[in-house]
Amino acid sequence: MAAGVHLIALEGLPLIQPGDDLGGLLAASLERSGLALGDGDVLVLAQKIVSKAEGRLVRLADVAPSSEARRVAAEVRKDPALVELILSESRRIVRARPHVLIVEHRLGLIMANAGIDQSNVAEGYALLLPEDPDASAARLRARLAPEGGRVGVVVNDSFGRPWRRGTTGVAIGAAGLPALVDRRGEADLYGRPLQVTMIAFADEIAASASLLMGPAAEARPAVLLRGLDWRAAENPAAHLIRPESEDLFR
Amino acid sequence: MAAGVHLIALEGLPLIQPGDDLGGLLAASLERSGLALGDGDVLVLAQKIVSKAEGRLVRLADVAPSSEARRVAAEVRKDPALVELILSESRRIVRARPHVLIVEHRLGLIMANAGIDQSNVAEGYALLLPEDPDASAARLRARLAPEGGRVGVVVNDSFGRPWRRGTTGVAIGAAGLPALVDRRGEADLYGRPLQVTMIAFADEIAASASLLMGPAAEARPAVLLRGLDWRAAENPAAHLIRPESEDLFR
């Protein structure tokens, strides 16, 4: 780990529209700021701009809610069309209460509303998560760091937590870095095995970037972390999802 | 929010011992590094050094396990003296499985082993959380920033999460900043109410600092975040704990 890390919000990105070449826009913004990506750099992108560029906007008037969606919508007091979208993006409902719908997203993420958001989206539309956020991160990394090396891309989103209030930034996609760092076998300062051995490196990166992005996550949707250090091999954000077999709280 | 934040690991702190004047050692380290605390600065301290300075080390040989501790220890396959300490620091057991003991700590934190750690602690000893981490943060802030103003102190620890693998840094104590930022009533870019409205600001700060601290959290146990911006009024890390009445997963 380095002794200093700089978080820098990218300037001059336009509001992203469906079909935009996000990689090109990011490359131009980096170039304008004189920020060529190099060793130890991680670019964190708000899920919203990745989803928008990938055209994951859905017009709610075009969605026909099923009878199950209508039943759940009445229970959770949400728009039946929105609930239809949530259920179509999910494997199952984890908790349903008035104004709360927590699901297991098809990617395995346990999250509210399958990550579908209507903030910062035009009236009458909803924005789904990227089809495959790890693949999105990998594509953007290939575009922005064609030589590879220790350059990471993380797609972040804001998640609630069961026992703690408020949201924090979480990595839903990652490429070029170890999303999960496994330190089993390493020793503490006294030479004894470390007790905390798996570190959600990409989640800590995602949370750091959220500090700059702000709540709308669109005024500053791209944040560069400069000065990170890592040794472990690359693995995707999918590795951060706890398998159901290890899960005591599903 | 500022457009750039710097994370700086403090240099030259000795290994902290019970009874050490942690505030004085931190002040000396800041001064040596030319880092006078100013507007928008937050100093994040690993729980371990705060606990050690406060003398929260317990010799396991001095602990007499109750019959309940012996029963739980057999179930979770841990040292009965350690389990006795965990139970004495807890309100109740949330989950007990072989090698897993998740409790509600007397402070309300849902966490493994009541936060009691044996890494980076001398053989035969265990380290408890500070008696009152918000008060610890407030005392250190009063020592390091006697004029007050927008200067924060956060005490962080590494927590596991129910649905995600790996630990992230979490704020167990905070002073001088809003640990929880409430943005209810603010608008998105389209003028509609924000959907994500409560932000765990201190947890995101704690996670950022963990990126530099590393897994042992003692090689670099103090990290300065410089360049943060906040408007909300101060509230302590206790505000990050979800009340049982709002909790769907306890």
Query: Any idea what the CATH number is for the domain that residue A70 is in?
Result: 3.90.1660.10
pLDDT bucket at A48, cuts 50 / 70 / 90: very high
CA–CA distance, A33 with A9 (Å, rounded to integer): 10
Q: pLDDT above 70 covers what percent of chain A?
A: 94
Asked if residue A249 is part of any domain, the answer here is no
> B145 and B47 in one domain?
yes
Number of domains present in the structure of chain A: 2
Q: Which residues contact A102 (CB under 8 A, 6 or more apart)?
A: A93, A94, A95, A96, A110, A111, A112, B248
Burial B170-183 (b: 16+ CB within 10 A, else e): bbbbbbbbbbbbbb
Which of B121, B163, B180 is closest, CB to CB, to A249? B163
DSSP three-state, residue B135: helix
Q: pLDDT above 70 covers what percent of chain B?
A: 94
- Which residue reads 């019970």 in tokens? B18
Cβ neighbours of A44 in B, within 8 Å: none
CA–CA distance, B208 with A204 (Å, rounded to integer): 6
> A205 and A118 in one domain?
no
Examine the pLDDT at A194 and tell me if it is beyond 70: no
Asked if residue A1 is part of any domain, the answer here is no
Q: Which two three-digit tokens encode residue B137?
A: 């943060």
Mean pLDDT of A90-115: 95
> A213 and A137 in one domain?
yes
DSSP three-state, residue B161: coil
Burial A161-198 (b: 16+ CB within 10 A, else e): bbbbbbbbbbbbbbbbbbbbbbbeeeebeeeeebbbbb
Instruction: Please tell me the predicted confidence (pLDDT) of residue B192.
Output: 67
Domain closes at, from B93, B108, B126: B126
> B139 and B25 in one domain?
yes
> A181 and A103 in one domain?
no
Cβ neighbours of A169 in B, within 8 Å: 204
Mean pLDDT of A192-210: 88
Mean pLDDT of A19-42: 95
Q: Do B167 and A219 touch (CB under 8 A)?
A: no
Instruction: Please tell me the predicted confidence (pLDDT) of residue B244.
Output: 85
Q: Which of B161, B228, B246 to mutate to test the interface with A (most CBs of A within 10 A)?
A: B161
Q: How confident is the model over B101-116, as pLDDT tens digits? A: 999 999 999 999 999 9
What is the pLDDT of chain B when averaged over all its residues? 92
Instruction: Please tell me the predicted confidence (pLDDT) of residue A121.
Output: 85
The range of the structural domain enclosing residue A114 comes to 58-126
Which has more confidence, A185 or B14?
Answer: B14
What is chain B's Cα-based Rg? 19
Q: What are phi and psi of A157, to 5 degrees?
A: -145, 165
Looking at B64-179, list the stretches that DSSP marks H as alpha helix, in order from N- to C-terminal side: 67-76, 80-88, 133-144
| Cβ neighbour number for residue B245 with a 10 Å cutoff | 5
Which has more confidence, A121 or B37?
Answer: B37
Cβ neighbours of B101 in A, within 8 Å: none
> B191 and B69 in one domain?
no
Asked if A137 contacts A125 with a C-beta cutoff of 8 angstroms, the reply is no
Asked if residue B249 is part of any domain, the answer here is no
CA–CA distance, A76 with A87 (Å, rounded to integer): 13
> B65 and B47 in one domain?
no
Short-list A181, A142, A147, A135, CA closest to A39:
A147
pTM of this prediction exceeds 0.80: yes
* CA distance to A83, B129, B131, per residue, from B83 (Å): 45, 15, 18
Instruction: Please tell me the predicted confidence (pLDDT) of residue B2.
Output: 42
Asked if residue B94 is part of any domain, the answer here is yes
Q: Do A190 and B102 touch (CB under 8 A)?
A: no
Q: Which of B97, B184, B204, B248 to mutate to test the interface with A (most CBs of A within 10 A)?
A: B204
Domain closes at, from A107, A126, A145: A126
Domain closes at, from B86, B107, B126: B126
Instruction: Please tell me the predicted confidence (pLDDT) of residue A2.
Output: 42
pLDDT bucket at B90, cuts 50 / 70 / 90: very high
> A134 and A12 in one domain?
yes
Q: Do B166 and A199 touch (CB under 8 A)?
A: yes
Examine the pLDDT at A112 and tell me if it is beyond 70: yes
We report the CATH number of the domain holding residue B208 as: 3.30.1330.100
CA–CA distance, A176 with A174 (Å, rounded to integer): 7
Q: What are phi and psi of B67, to 5 degrees?
A: -65, -35
Examine the pLDDT at B215 and tell me if it is beyond 90: no
Instruction: Please tell me the predicted confidence (pLDDT) of residue A1.
Output: 38
Q: Which residues pair with A173 in a beta bridge?
A: A155
Asked if residue A39 is part of any domain, the answer here is yes
Asked if residue B96 is part of any domain, the answer here is yes
Mean pLDDT of A172-201: 83
The beta strands (E) that lie in chain A are given as: 4-9, 41-46, 57-59, 90-97, 100-105, 110-112, 125-127, 151-159, 168-175, 181-182, 198-199, 222-226
Instruction: Please tell me the predicted confidence (pLDDT) of residue B183.
Output: 80
> B135 and B117 in one domain?
no
Mean pLDDT of A44-49: 97
Q: Which of A104, A161, A218 to mutate to test the interface with B (most CBs of B within 10 A)?
A: A161
> B158 and B134 in one domain?
yes
Q: How confident is the model over B148-176, as pLDDT tens digits? A: 899 999 999 999 999 999 999 999 999 99
Q: Do A211 and B1 touch (CB under 8 A)?
A: yes
Instruction: Please tell me the predicted confidence (pLDDT) of residue B26.
Output: 98
> B47 and B66 in one domain?
no
> A137 and A89 in one domain?
no
